[in-house]
């Protein structure tokens, strides 16, 4: 039987799904064990148990000076920045994407401009943002917007252009104005795509958030990671990295669910 | 009295002529079938009728009005595919036929309820009331085209244009769609233009069959000349229009 025709059963499928996760955990445990046997005070690969203990401590015990549980404050600060940045990108991207996709005049005006803007490396702008907007929240949010907006605009304008011409002509024969075509035909058609684009932008958004926090901040997940790096506190860093991964995965999952729930007619392979 | 008047119509893409010197007069309520080989400008002619494109020369007038510059309420269209809005339920698709001309593209309050009721009546008449809340993607090809025709008619166009509306359907569905279209037509007396590849369908449904072909042909440069209407058949009575006349002459009147 050819390899392409061999499909795993449910039990084997589950085993195969879990296998790489287990492999990484085991590899880490073995590596950590080897290093700790050689040098019990090694800080590079703390034992899984140690990481677990630190995790509990970080999640439940307050800071010695202020009594605040910094883990949750960090999470809240980072999520606020991320959410704000993504929300601004998504709404501005949706409007500009529709304008470029639907109106030839706007396409001539903006399409090339956005294409050029999207080539600017956002991190190269970070110093400018810090100078212009200061070191506060604004510059971090703006960095996320600068980093994700061009992609969302280009993706959505492309999707809008791809709406079958027949549908736009049909709407016109029903007497729809440009405005009605925009809100009743184009907007609903690109909404699932907007969710898709936001999902794809989450990765870059986290990247820019952590970069901005690492450079100038006093609270946030990225700030904490880069702070404790000075003490080689691998247990704290690992806890935060696992937490960020979980958060990102949960957001992606929620967006996918939302897309299926609100746009059941858009049967795309998600 | 000519309702749709086509005068001296030319359409050229770049330096390539597609159709040339098309003249035709259509009376109100006539069903015109348009046939011809692929690439003979049938669909271009339909797009010109729709005002999706504007001709290089010549003009099309409906009821003596100024030639249209863009698609509008007076011309309804049903395409072979993508004719209904996939993001709206079957019922909303029918309502859209009336509501898209409103400022926000939808009705509110009493107007919305009235439009809903009218849509449900329409759906019951065309046998789609059991799927009113489904999305079009769950419907069969024939049901989708029935919906598309009903949606186009809900806007009450003066001329209905059909671009190979049954091209993608299986023969059985196609036959029932013919019946559906004939009933609708008997009811509304609408002027219809239908492009089709199926000659039998063209003669069965049409009052007239227009044949598009290239009258001149350069074997070294096939795209040199455009197509025009080469035949204009009277298709009533199954394409034998004088049958009744002959019977009246030769068969003695029953007493």
Position with higher pLDDT, A42 vs B117: B117
Instruction: Say if CB B42 and CB B50 are below 8 A apart.
Output: no
**pLDDT band at residue A65 using 50, 70 and 90 as cut-offs:** confident
Which whole number is the average pLDDT over B64-86?
A: 90
Q: Are A24 and A70 members of one domain?
A: no
Q: Are A250 and A176 members of one domain?
A: yes
**pLDDT tens, A140-194?**
999 999 999 999 999 999 999 999 999 999 999 999 999 999 999 999 999 999 9
Angle between helices A70-102 and A104-117 (to 10 degrees): 140
Residue closest to A175 by CA, chosen among B194, B166, B68:
B68
Looking at beta carbons, which residues of chain A come within 8 Å of B86?
Answer: 189, 265-266
Q: Are A105 and A145 members of one domain?
A: yes
Query: Residue A217: what pLDDT?
Result: 87
pLDDT value at A269 more than 60: no
Q: Are A8 and A136 members of one domain?
A: no
Classify residue A64: in a domain, yes or no.
yes
> Residue A173: which of B73, B81, B102 has the nearest Cβ?
B73
Classify residue A51: in a domain, yes or no.
no
Q: Are A155 and A37 members of one domain?
A: no
Instruction: Say if CB B242 and CB B235 are below 8 A apart.
Output: no
Q: Give the lowest-confidence range in A78-82, A224-228, A266-270, B53-57.
A: A266-270
> Residue A167: which of B85, B152, B157 has the nearest Cβ?
B85
If one counts the domains in chain A, the total is: 2
**pLDDT band at residue A113 using 50, 70 and 90 as cut-offs:** very high
- A·B CB contacts under 8 A: 80
Query: Residue B241: what pLDDT?
Result: 61
Domain annotation for chain B: domains and CATH numbers: 4-78+157-250 (3.40.50.300)
- How large is the ipTM? 0.87
Contact of B52 with chain A, judged by CB distance below 8 Å, is answered with: yes
pLDDT value at B112 more than 70: yes
Classify residue A55: in a domain, yes or no.
no
Contact of A268 with chain B, judged by CB distance below 8 Å, is answered with: no
Query: Residue B50: what pLDDT?
Result: 92
Q: Are A225 and A196 members of one domain?
A: yes
Q: What's the predicted TM-score (pTM) here?
A: 0.85
Q: Are A157 and A218 members of one domain?
A: yes
Percent of chain B residues past pLDDT 90, beyond the cut: 42
Q: Do B100 and A263 touch (CB under 8 A)?
A: no
Q: Are A16 and A64 members of one domain?
A: no
Contact of A180 with chain B, judged by CB distance below 8 Å, is answered with: yes
Q: Are A31 and A111 members of one domain?
A: no
Contact of B142 with chain A, judged by CB distance below 8 Å, is answered with: no
**pLDDT tens, B189-233?**
889 999 998 888 998 899 999 999 888 888 888 778 888 888 888
Strand partners, B11: B19
Q: What is the CATH number of the domain that holds A214?
A: 1.10.3720.10
Classify residue A69: in a domain, yes or no.
yes
Classify residue A136: in a domain, yes or no.
yes
pLDDT value at A43 more than 50: yes
Query: Residue B186: what pLDDT?
Result: 85
Contact of B91 with chain A, judged by CB distance below 8 Å, is answered with: no
pLDDT value at B1 more than 70: no
Position with higher pLDDT, A35 vs B245: A35
Classify residue A268: in a domain, yes or no.
no
Classify residue A269: in a domain, yes or no.
no
Classify residue A53: in a domain, yes or no.
no
CA–CA gap between residue A152 and residue B162 (Å, rounded)? 37
**pLDDT band at residue B87 using 50, 70 and 90 as cut-offs:** very high
Which domain range does residue A19 map to?
3-45
Q: Are A71 and A118 members of one domain?
A: yes
Contact of A105 with chain B, judged by CB distance below 8 Å, is answered with: no
Looking at beta carbons, which residues of chain A come within 8 Å of B137?
Answer: 265, 267
Q: Which two tokens stand for residue A92?
A: 């501005």
**pLDDT tens, B124-133?**
888 898 999 9
Looking at residue B74, the DSSP 8-state letter turns out to be T
Residue of chain A whose alpha carbon sits nearest to that of B135:
A265
Q: Are A41 and A165 members of one domain?
A: no
Looking at beta carbons, which residues of chain A come within 8 Å of B71?
Answer: 169, 172-173
**pLDDT band at residue B247 using 50, 70 and 90 as cut-offs:** low
Q: Are A215 and A240 members of one domain?
A: yes
């Amino acid at each position: 039987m050819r390899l392409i025709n061999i499909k795993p059963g449910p039990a084997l499928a589950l085993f195969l799904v879990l296998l790489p996760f287990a492999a990484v955990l085991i590899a880490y445990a073995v590596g950590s064990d080897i290093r700790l046997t050689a040098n019990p005070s090694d800080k590079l690969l703390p034992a899984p148990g140690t990481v677990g203990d630190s995790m509990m401590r970080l999640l439940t015990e307050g800071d010695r000076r202020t009594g605040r549980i910094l883990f949750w404050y960090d999470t809240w600060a980072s999520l606020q920045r991320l959410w704000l940045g993504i929300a601004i990108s998504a709404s501005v991207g949706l409007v500009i994407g529709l304008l470029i996709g639907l109106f030839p005049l706007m396409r001539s005006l903006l399409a090339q401009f956005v294409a050029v803007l999207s080539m600017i490396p956002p991190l190269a702008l970070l110093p400018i943002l810090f100078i212009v907007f200061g070191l506060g929240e604004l510059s971090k949010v703006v960095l996320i917007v600068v980093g994700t907006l061009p992609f969302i605009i280009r993706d959505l304008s492309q999707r809008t252009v791809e709406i079958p011409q027949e549908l736009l002509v049909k709407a016109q024969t029903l007497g729809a104005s440009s405005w009605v075509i925009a809100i009743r035909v184009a907007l609903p058609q690109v909404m699932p795509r907007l969710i898709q684009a936001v999902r794809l932008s989450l990765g870059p958004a986290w990247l820019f958030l952590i970069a901005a926090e690492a450079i100038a901040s006093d609270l946030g997940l990225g700030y904490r990671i880069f702070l404790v790096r000075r003490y080689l506190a691998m247990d704290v860093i690992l806890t935060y990295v696992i937490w960020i991964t979980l958060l990102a995965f949960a957001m992606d999952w929620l967006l996918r669910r939302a897309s299926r729930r609100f746009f059941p007619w858009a049967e795309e392979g998600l | 009295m000519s309702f749709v008047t086509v005068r001296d119509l030319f359409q050229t893409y770049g330096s390539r002529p597609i159709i040339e010197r098309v003249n035709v007069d259509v009376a109100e309520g006539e069903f015109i079938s348009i046939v011809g080989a692929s690439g003979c400008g049938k669909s271009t002619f339909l797009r010109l009728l729709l005002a999706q494109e504007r001709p290089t020369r010549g003009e099309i007038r409906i009821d003596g009005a100024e030639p249209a510059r863009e698609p509008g309420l007076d011309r309804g269209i049903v395409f072979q595919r993508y004719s209904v809005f996939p993001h709206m339920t079957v019922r909303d698709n029918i309502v859209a036929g009336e509501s898209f001309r409103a400022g926000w593209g939808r009705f509110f309050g009493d107007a919305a309820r009235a439009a809903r009721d009218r849509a449900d009546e329409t759906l019951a008449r065309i046998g789609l009331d059991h799927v009113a809340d489904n999305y079009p993607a769950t419907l069969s090809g024939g049901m989708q085209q029935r919906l598309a025709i009903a949606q186009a008619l809900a806007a009450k166009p003066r001329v209905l244009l059909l671009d190979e509306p049954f091209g993608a359907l299986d023969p059985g569905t196609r036959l029932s769609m013919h019946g559906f279209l004939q009933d609708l037509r008997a009811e509304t007396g609408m002027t219809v233009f239908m492009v089709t590849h199926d000659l039998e369908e063209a003669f069965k449904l049409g009052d007239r069959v227009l044949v598009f072909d290239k009258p001149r042909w350069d074997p070294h440069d096939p795209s040199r000349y455009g197509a025009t209407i080469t035949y204009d058949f009277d298709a009533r009575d199954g394409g034998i229009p004088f049958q009744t006349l002959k019977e009246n002459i030769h068969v003695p009147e029953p007493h």
